[in-house]
């Protein structure tokens, strides 16, 4: 593998969710440890599953992996990091200030902005701690969050440095003013480490799919624009030329992948590039990870046909949704499972039935227009763009709060609004408007990958608690209360019939339940078992899906839909219509 040639100390693995960043990062960590190196594997993903891959609990502390000599792991847990960050600020004043004031400070530090800053602080310490406990590792590998979050994370050192250079800004975001000078030096050192090719290598991970290759193309350009140029490309899960050319699905997948690779833009062609073969089984466990970069020796005879897949078409869920005339439908899940496709298919099917539908996305890397590739009566499409939402929010605050201020006051307010935390508030407000709109007609939301969504829900919960505190016994309705109302909101969890996506979807379901939001249905997308392939490799992968489908059906979901993997990607209105054209009954538990 080219990206493993003379690796520097820091390696970042990034790309669209679901492409296998964690598998590639874990396999790299095992490979380097096997060469006698001391390796620390770090996950900066709010929805990390590194612990699931190794079969042990890791958490927010450096944890040795017993089965791999020389390998340790660390998950930057957003909740733990935020709690420690809050305690550093609140602890010194607890007992000195009135309880009400301490409670107010704690509440101000309970939002998603604090969570991101806390995680970011730990990230920068890993890049700059050359003499502490991180200094003992030869290599530090970062399994990063999905692309939109990663771009923001990598830009934050520059953003915060610029923010601090311009002025102190909003201290409620960054903590005590006395700590800012120290933070300035840490952030500047992080920027230097990221931009030094002798210390840092960026590995862009994709699948042989047009959408994920387009994503890493955008990533490559955005990283290069902030001075991060030492990049490599890994295309994961590439299907080898099928020996059985009688399987139309295998042949179609092979042709589609080869066409996507052949169409790589020049920027990616100029980078060192590796391809990792698709394996017959899921890459879970140390033994499987240790062989990820080697050819699959498995040949053998075809497996027995998979057991019968539940008859659970997507159309059945749409029929149940369409029985009403309005509501919020939120498609959630791990990046790369096809949330955008499912959300678009549901929206198109509802619009076909004559319902006015607003389809929108909260995913910074979402591209609904690419999926729809056309227009339809009754369907409007939008996106909650963080940059645009922030601009609108800043203008609104300056026009309202700033209306009665003098020039100096407006300048101070404008300075506060340059805080990176302003984006979090702006996106939350835009999301709240979408929720309110669902009282009039159907609104279908393609949410960001799991970690982003949980941060957004955290902001929604913080707002609810603040309103409840201020209004007391008076009647009120917050966005969180609408999300909790099953008559108004239907949450659809989208997953794949694979171990890690199902485990992560179950974790998301638990987080939603804690927020008193009960998932309405699960969609198992891109199912090989439902597609009934004849290729030996694909049949082995299809057989492995049955246990995961049963787990979802029996343990987690009130109702499910199983969507088969298609020979042609469902892009465009006609293809999305075909995805939900059956009229059978959904499977209820």
**79 and 111 assigned to the same domain:** yes
User: Residue 316 gets which letter from DSSP?
Assistant: H
16, 17, 23, 161: which is the annotated catalytic residue? 23
Please give the pLDDT value at position 467.
60
Residue 399 placed within a domain: no
Token reading at 191: 């920027």
Give the angle 554-509-149 at the CA atoms, nearest 5°. 135
pLDDT at 34: 94
CB 15 within 8 A of CB 202: no
Q: What angle is formed at CA 549 by the lines to CA 545 and CA 551, rounded to 5 degrees?
A: 120
Q: Which residues contact 123 (CB under 8 A, 6 or more apart)?
A: 44, 76, 153, 190
Compute the residue count for the chain. Answer: 589
Structural domain total, the chain: 2
Same domain, 247 and 172: yes
Question: CB–CB of 359/343 below 8 Å?
Answer: yes
Catalytic residue among 14, 44, 45, 211: 45
Instruction: Out of 14, 15, 17, 18, pick the active-site residue.
Output: 18
Instruction: Identify whether residues 71 and 149 lie together within a single domain.
Output: yes
Q: Say if 228 falls within a structural domain.
A: yes
Q: Which of 14, 15, 22, 451 is catalytic?
A: 22
Residue 429 placed within a domain: no
Specify which residues 349 forms β-bridges with: none
Residue 432 lies in a domain: no
Determine whether 291 is an active site residue: no
Q: Find where tokens 């929604």 sit.
A: 460
Within this chain, do residues 279 and 346 fall inside the same structural domain, yes or no?
Answer: no
From 14, 15, 16, 20, active-site residue:
20
CATH number of domain containing 32: 3.40.50.300
Among the listed residues 340, 500, 509, 527, the single catalytic one is: 500
What pLDDT score does 345 carry?
Answer: 95
| Whether residue 285 is found in the same domain as residue 373 | no
Is 419 within the bounds of a domain? Answer: no
Would you call 20 a catalytic residue per the annotation?
yes
Same domain, 459 and 580: yes
167 and 230, same domain (yes or no): yes
Are 572 and 514 found together in one domain? yes
In this structure, are 499 and 357 located in the same domain? yes
State residue 569's pLDDT score.
Answer: 81
Q: Is 150 a catalytic residue?
A: no
Residue 578 maps to a domain:
yes
User: Tokens 């939350």 identify what position?
Assistant: 428
What residue numbers bound the domain in which 523 lies?
A: 314-387+440-588
Residues ≥6 apart with Cβ < 8 Å to 138: 9, 32, 37, 38, 39
- Which of 290, 325, 350 terminates a domain? The answer is 290
User: Is there a single domain that holds both residue 346 and residue 495?
Assistant: yes
What residues have CB less than 8 Å from 112, skipping those under 6 apart? 424, 428, 455, 456, 458, 459, 462
Q: Is residue 306 part of a domain?
A: no
Q: Which helix (H) or strand (E) holds 220?
A: helix 210-225
- Position 69 scores a pLDDT of 94
What pTM was estimated for this model as a whole? 0.74
Residues 6+ apart with CB under 8 A from 21: 13, 14, 15, 143, 144, 205
Could you read off the pLDDT tens digit of each residue along the chain, which spans 589 residues?
Answer: 999 999 999 998 988 777 888 899 999 999 999 999 999 999 876 556 677 778 788 877 889 999 899 999 998 877 777 788 788 878 888 888 888 888 777 766 766 556 666 776 777 778 887 677 888 999 999 987 545 444 555 555 555 556 555 554 444 444 433 344 456 677 677 777 878 889 989 999 999 988 789 888 988 888 887 777 889 999 999 998 876 668 889 999 999 999 999 999 998 999 999 999 998 887 778 888 888 998 765 544 555 555 578 889 999 999 999 998 899 999 988 777 888 899 999 999 999 999 999 999 877 655 777 788 788 899 999 888 778 888 888 888 888 888 888 888 888 777 767 765 677 677 777 888 888 899 999 999 988 755 555 555 666 666 566 666 666 676 656 777 788 889 999 999 999 998 878 888 898 898 888 888 899 999 999 999 999 888 888 888 898 899 999 999 999 999 999 999 988 888 888 889 888 875 443 445 4
Determine whether 45 is an active site residue.
Answer: yes
pLDDT value of position 314: 95
Site of tokens 């955290």: 458
Residues 130 and 247 in one domain: yes
Shared domain for 164 and 27, answered yes or no, is: yes
Q: Is 217 a catalytic residue?
A: no
Do 223 and 154 touch, CB atoms closer than 8 A? yes
Going by C-alpha positions, the residue among 238, 274, 271 that lies closest to residue 256 is: 238
Pairing state between β 71-75 and 39-43: parallel
Distant-in-sequence, close-in-space partners of 365: CB < 8 Å, separation ≥ 6:
16, 146, 147, 148, 215, 218, 448
**In angstroms, what is the C-alpha Rg of the chain?**
24
From 14, 17, 21, 31, the catalytic residue = 21
């Amino acid at each position: 593998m080219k990206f493993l040639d003379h690796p520097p100390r820091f390696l970042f693995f990034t790309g669209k969710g679901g492409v296998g960043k964690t598998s590639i990062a874990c396999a790299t960590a095992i490979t380097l440890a096997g060469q006698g190196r001391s390796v620390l594997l770090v996950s900066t993903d709010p929805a990390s599953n590194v612990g699931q891959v190794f079969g042990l609990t890791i958490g927010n502390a450096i944890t040795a992996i017993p089965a791999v000599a020389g390998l340790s792991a660390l998950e930057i847990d957003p909740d733990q990091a935020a709690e420690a960050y809050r305690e550093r600020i609140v602890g010194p004043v607890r007992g000195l200030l009135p309880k009400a004031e301490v409670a107010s400070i704690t509440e101000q530090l309970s939002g998603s902005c604090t969570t991101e800053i806390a995680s970011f602080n730990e990230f920068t310490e890993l890049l700059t701690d050359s003499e502490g406990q991180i200094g003992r590792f030869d290599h530090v590998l970062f399994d990063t969050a999905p692309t939109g979050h990663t771009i923001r994370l990598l830009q934050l050192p520059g953003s915060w440095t610029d923010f601090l250079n311009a002025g102190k800004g909003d201290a409620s975001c960054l903590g005590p003013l006395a700590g800012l000078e120290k933070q300035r030096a840490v952030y500047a050192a992080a920027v230097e480490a990221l931009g030094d090719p002798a210390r840092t290598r960026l590995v862009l991970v994709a699948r042989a799919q047009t959408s994920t290759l387009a994503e890493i193309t955008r990533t490559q350009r955005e990283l290069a624009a902030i001075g991060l140029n030492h990049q490599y490309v890994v295309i994961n899960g590439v299907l080898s030329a099928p020996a059985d050319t009688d399987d139309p699905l295998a042949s179609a997948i092979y042709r589609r992948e080869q066409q996507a690779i052949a169409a790589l833009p020049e920027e990616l062609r100029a980078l060192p590039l590796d391809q990792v073969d698709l394996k017959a089984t899921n890459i879970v466990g140390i033994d499987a990870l240790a062989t990820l970069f080697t050819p699959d020796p498995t040949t053998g005879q075809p497996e027995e046909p998979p057991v019968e897949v539940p008859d659970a078409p997507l159309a059945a869920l749409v029929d149940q949704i369409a029985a009403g005339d309005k509501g919020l439908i939120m498609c959630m899940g791990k990046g790369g499972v096809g949330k955008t496709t499912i959300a678009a298919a549901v929206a198109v099917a509802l619009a076909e039935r004559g319902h006015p539908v607003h389809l929108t996305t909260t995913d910074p890397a979402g591209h609904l227009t690419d999926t729809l590739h056309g227009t339809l009566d009754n369907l409007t499409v939008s996106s909650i763009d963080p940059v645009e939402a922030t601009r609108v929010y800043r203008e609104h605050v300056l026009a309202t709060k700033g209306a009665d201020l003098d020039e100096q006051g407006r300048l101070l307010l404008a300075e506060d609004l340059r805080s990176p935390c302003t984006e979090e508030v702006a996106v939350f407000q835009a999301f709240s408007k979408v929720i309110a709109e669902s009282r009039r007609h159907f609104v279908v939301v393609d949410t960001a990958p799991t970690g982003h969504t949980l941060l957004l829900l955290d902001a929604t919960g913080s707002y609810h608690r603040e309103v409840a505190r201020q209004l007391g016994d008076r009647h009120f309705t917050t966005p969180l209360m609408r999300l909790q109302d099953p008559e108004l909101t239907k949450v659809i969890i989208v997953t794949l019939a694979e171990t890690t996506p199902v485990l992560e979807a179950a974790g998301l379901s638990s987080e939603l339940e804690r927020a008193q939001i009960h998932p309405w249905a699960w969609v198992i997308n891109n199912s090989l078992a439902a597609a009934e392939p004849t290729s030996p490799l694909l049949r082995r992968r299809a057989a492995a899906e049955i246990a995961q489908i049963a787990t979802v059906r029996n343990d987690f979901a009130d109702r499910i839909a199983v969507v088969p993997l298609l020979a042609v990607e469902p892009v465009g209105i006609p293809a999305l219509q075909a995805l939900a054209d059956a009229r059978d009954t959904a499977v209820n538990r």
